[in-house]
Amino acid sequence: MSLKILSWNVNGIRAGLKKGLLEKIAEIKPDIWCVQETKADSETMAGICKELGYSNYDTQNDGLELELNTDDKGILWSSCTFKKGYSGVASLFTETSDLQLKSYQIGLKIEEFDAEGRVVVTEFEAKQKHRFALINAYYPQGGRGPHRIDFKLRFYNQINLLAKKYLDKGVNVILCGDLNTTVGDIDLARPKENAKTTGCLPEERLALSWLVADSFFDPNKLEITNPDFQQFAKINVEKLNLIDTFRHFYPDLEGKYSYWDQITRARERNVGWRIDYFLVDKGLLPNLKSATILDQVMGSDHAPVVIELEF
């Protein structure tokens, strides 16, 4: 079976629906689509769920093994609980005889992160044989001071631990979402000008190296000059060595981005950043067929990213 998975920071799901989000999704035809920055509270998401004709799975079953009907459209989401119009993620899918949802988890089970509505995990079985956990996350920005960078680095560490839990069980792992960090200087249009900007900071790239196997820098040589973050260089993190799917196919391609600043109309000049990713464990490489950035698809300040796998 061929499986297409889409990830997209939609910068507001309700606004996206008004801009033709469903029509664009219908053209792309993903089997699973993961969205970030829904900017919708749980009540709004419940209304959208009903409007789209998707089943809202009872989160009281969170983490339990499920036996669901085939050809069942489902949606799972996590919303910010303390601020309207902020953060939020959702995963939407259609079950078939070849793709079955087996379990799911809402959040990281850590209140400071989960209050912001940043993570949905769905564990699927493909062809009654291949199990994979899809971790859809909206990673924090670090632009509001040192406390948010600290928050961001600890979030990355918890994602590492979550993914490792599945890998240790023999379940393949796919991470997707807006990671809010560039892997290397090749991933943004103006690396020198942004060397001290969040998304490019050495401590952020160090945290990203806990997840992704990378050849653009040596994490051991990153110079973390800010004393507030030097402890992160010393913590014992077992790196996941996941594959950056886009760079797997296009290791040297420049000028391909997934985010552009709207205020400066940067998209028109392609002055962008590649901060939206699909990362997969090495066990899925034989199944990975393509990875693309759909930078011609409009409707958000981010472009959708897509991978295709064959099981």
Return the HEC string of 52-95. Answer: HCCEECCHHHCCCCCCCCCCCEEEEEECCCCCCCCCCEEEEEEC
Bridge partners for 32 per DSSP? 5, 93
Query: Coil, helix or strand for 9?
Result: strand
Q: Report the alpha-carbon distance of residue 77 to residue 85 in Å, rounded.
A: 14
- The token duo for 62 is 């969170």
d(CA 31, CA 92): 9
Whether the Cβ atoms of residue 39 and residue 86 lie closer than 8 Å to each other: yes
Given a contact cutoff of 8 angstroms between Cβ atoms, the answer to whether 149 and 201 are in contact is yes
8 Å CB contact between 299 and 16:
yes
Catalytic residue among 31, 41, 178, 301: 178
Q: How many CA atoms does the CB half-sphere of 23 hold within 13 Å?
A: 8
Give me the helices (H) in 93-181, please.
Answer: 111-114, 146-168
Q: What is the 3-state secondary structure (H, E, C) of 227-285?
A: CCCHHHHCCCCCCCCEEEHHHHHCCCCCCCCCEECCCCCHHHHCCEECCEEEEECHHHH
Note if 178 is an active site residue.
Answer: yes
Show which residues are catalytic: 178
